Amino acid sequence: MKNLLLMVCSLVFGFYQMTAQNFDIKSPDGRIQLKVTHSDKISWSVSLNGNLIIEKAEAGMDFSSNTDFGYDPKIKSHAIKSASQNIHAVISRKDSDIKDEYTELSITYKGNYKINFRAYNDGVAYQFMDEAKAVRNIISEKVSFTFPKGSRSLFPQEESMYSHNERLYLDKSLTDIQSKHFCSLPVMFTTDKAKVLFTETALHDYPGLFLKGTGSTTLDAQFPKYVLEAVDKDGRSDRVQTITKEADYIAKTSGDRAYPWRVFIISDDDRTFVESNLSYQLAKPNVLQNTDWIKPGKVAWDWYNDNNIFGVDFKAGLNTETYKYFIDFAAMNKIEYVILDEGWTKSTTQILDFNPAMDVKELIRYGKEKGVGIILWVLWKPLDANLLPILQAYKSWGAKGIKIDYMQRNDQYMVTSYEQIARECAKLEMLVDFHGAFKPSGLERMYPNVMNYEGVLGNENNKWSDEITPEHTVTIPFIRMVAGPMDFTPGAMINKEHKNFSISFTRPMSMGTRAHQVAMYVVYEAPLQMMCESPSIYYKEQETVDFITQIPTVWDETKVLQGSVGNYIVVARKKAEKWYIGGMTDADARELPIDLSFLGDGSFSMEVFADGINVDKYAEDYKKEIIEVNKNAKVTAKMASGGGWSAIITKKQ
């Protein structure tokens, strides 16, 4: 009897030990459940409203020495906690105050490492923490997840990891994504019950993640190797390199650090993805003590329009007279900045010497006199070779910031270079716009002088392709913009219906209506928001300019009123006491009801910019009107094919 009792106790204790290796946490609202299991690996799964969304995922890290993470894991301890706090955004790209509420499971393992899992109302995330303090190489990281059968992806497929990460989103069944296919982030997946947006944040001193297919519903991570040697490529040595030697590892580390958060935003409502702040919430907090000098705003931009100004008595081009014209236009319209894009330097590698036709110091002085700041475009490669002297020179001239281009790498050195540039620019009180860049990965919270990232197939592609369709422009808010601000460069005034669109490098046009372009200023998040058209054309379209320049570039509050990935979007954003609404549609004409209940009590004046009655034949046709509304008013955003609808709402006194 005693032996039987001991056997039963032993079985119970063994069962307890086995189940003790499994943990469940739920989001604060209870809709998302995350389960973590342990065997010879760390595995996890996620459900939404009881429906399995991610069937199985695995996490681990393989090192050159000492303990690997997640392989035959031995648990030392674990803790579960609930947290609720408020984050105030220094530069409020979406919301000035963000409720940061989650349930966290923290598991500590033998071998001096731990993993933190978090469940939020809009998704889940995990992060490895290294406490070993060991100098070693990271051979690889295991990031693998499996979706239910029948799942699909809007897949930003890449041809190489040496990339600007400017892609179309290909609608693919996961089983059609083979091992030779891989994508950059962020990427969206669709199951029968919900969508999942996968990205990463708090990316520091570590390579960026790509995802590759397997021919099944499982996807695996892959990373660029640590670069040992890169040589100049003939013909474009100022900006393009050939990586000739790579290590057999992806990164070097000295331990005692946090690795990037792997972020999964999960929802059965497409609007959630645009409203989510999860990438920002999980990023490292602001490290700058003084941020008063950081001034978002609009930018008159030259490169898209090829300096094509007219009606003047001087030859337009890369010269002082042309850029004074840009500055005058900006000053007249209270546009905060002008960019001097490619061509202001003596050559693209001689970036401390001026183009002989351009007096850059005089332009900066003239801009200051007119209340317009100057931002200087620069290539990454020559800047990286002589960073501090170049930045100090630009600062001494009076430049307000830099637009840095042609990074096109995601390896550890490049990620670290981004942070070094952000840090050194912050010391000099200079803004940063990362063009030719990978997606935002949290650096913009840590260094709020980082305004924008490109990493998006944007308006400039109109100069050489027909890929910037209305379907594309209503897809990117739900995918690329979820990671953070995007330098799409809106504001084209030459607008064409699909059938009349043609490619022109020097006189580019946009596909879709005028109102579609205007709505981007509300829908698209970019603290430095470009105005891409020629000032000469803007002068002829002053009514449109007057509407656009009323729209802020940072926001106190965001609400997505309507949203369907790749189909349509209607966003309401608040700044101070005014509300702004932007609506966009794909190739289908739509009439979408606008719920104004967020306005509160009182009467309001609504200034509307909408598609004109003849926009089907002349895409630049628009209608402006002012109507009186209140929170109970019935308003419809009527949009033509490729159309848009915008409103500025002011409370009446």
Cα 555 from Cα 570, distance rounded (Å):
16
Check whether domain 297-455+525-535 has CATH 3.20.20.70, yes or no: yes
643 touches 516 (CB < 8 A): yes
Asked if the model's pLDDT at residue 34 lies above 50, the reply is yes
Q: Whose CA is closest to 442, among 255, 281, 250, 207?
A: 281
Enter the tokens of residue 217: 């519903």
List every span in the chain annotated with CATH 3.20.20.70.
297-455+525-535
pLDDT in tens, 379-406: 999 999 999 999 999 999 999 999 999 9
List every span in the chain annotated with CATH 2.70.98.10.
21-281
For residue 180, give the 3-state DSSP assignment: coil
CB atoms within 10 A of CB 16: 9
List every span in the chain annotated with CATH 2.60.40.1180.
489-523+556-653
Say what percent of the chain tops pLDDT 90: 94
Which member of 460, 471, 497, 611 is catalytic? 460
- 21-281 CATH pick, 2.70.98.10, 2.40.440.10, 1.10.3720.10, 3.90.870.10: 2.70.98.10
Tell me if residue 306 is catalytic.
no
Identify the pLDDT of residue 8. Answer: 35
Cα 525 from Cα 299, distance rounded (Å):
14
Identify the pLDDT of residue 237. Answer: 84
Say what percent of the chain tops pLDDT 70: 97
Identify the pLDDT of residue 11. Answer: 35
Identify the pLDDT of residue 17. Answer: 37
Cα 202 from Cα 182, distance rounded (Å):
22
CA dihedral 159, 472, 376, 89 (to 10 degrees): -110
With bands split at pLDDT 50, 70 and 90, how would you rate the model's confidence at 236? confident
β-partners of residue 222 are: 210
Q: Whose CA is closest to 213, among 187, 174, 186, 184?
A: 174
Question: Out of 41-50, 236-245, 248-257, which region has the weakest mean confidence (pLDDT)?
Answer: 236-245
Q: Whose CA is closest to 444, among 609, 258, 266, 281?
A: 281
With bands split at pLDDT 50, 70 and 90, how would you rate the model's confidence at 621? very high
Enter the tokens of residue 645: 């609808």
Asked if the model's pLDDT at residue 233 lies above 90, the reply is no
Tell me if residue 405 is catalytic.
yes
Cα 9 from Cα 232, distance rounded (Å):
70
Backbone angles phi, psi at 321, to 5 degrees: -60, -40
For the domain spanning 489-523+556-653, the CATH number is 2.60.40.1180
Backbone angles phi, psi at 648, to 5 degrees: -120, 120
pLDDT in tens, 1-25: 434 433 333 333 333 333 458 999 9
With bands split at pLDDT 50, 70 and 90, how would you rate the model's confidence at 180? very high
Identify the pLDDT of residue 46. Answer: 98
- In 89-179, the DSSP E strands lie at 97-109, 113-120, 123-130, 136-146, 152-155, 157-158, 170-173
- In 110-149, the DSSP E strands lie at 113-120, 123-130, 136-146
Which member of 68, 141, 405, 525 is catalytic? 405
pLDDT in tens, 35-64: 999 999 999 999 999 999 999 999 999 999
Asked if the model's pLDDT at residue 296 lies above 90, the reply is yes
374 touches 338 (CB < 8 A): yes
Distance of CA 313 to the CA centre of its chain: 42
pLDDT in tens, 315-348: 999 999 999 999 999 999 999 999 999 999 999 9
CB atoms within 10 A of CB 135: 12
Hey, what long-range contacts does 344-352 have (CB within 8 A, 24 or more apart)?
344/318, 344/376, 344/377, 345/378, 347/238, 348/238, 348/239, 348/379, 348/382, 349/238, 349/379, 349/381, 349/382, 351/378, 351/379, 351/382, 351/383, 351/390, 352/389, 352/390, 352/393
Identify the pLDDT of residue 16. Answer: 36
What's the mean pLDDT in 124-148? 96
Cα 228 from Cα 206, distance rounded (Å):
15
Asked if the model's pLDDT at residue 228 lies above 80, the reply is yes
56 touches 73 (CB < 8 A): no
Enter the tokens of residue 177: 């994504």
Asked if the model's pLDDT at residue 198 lies above 90, the reply is yes
Cα 47 from Cα 36, distance rounded (Å):
12
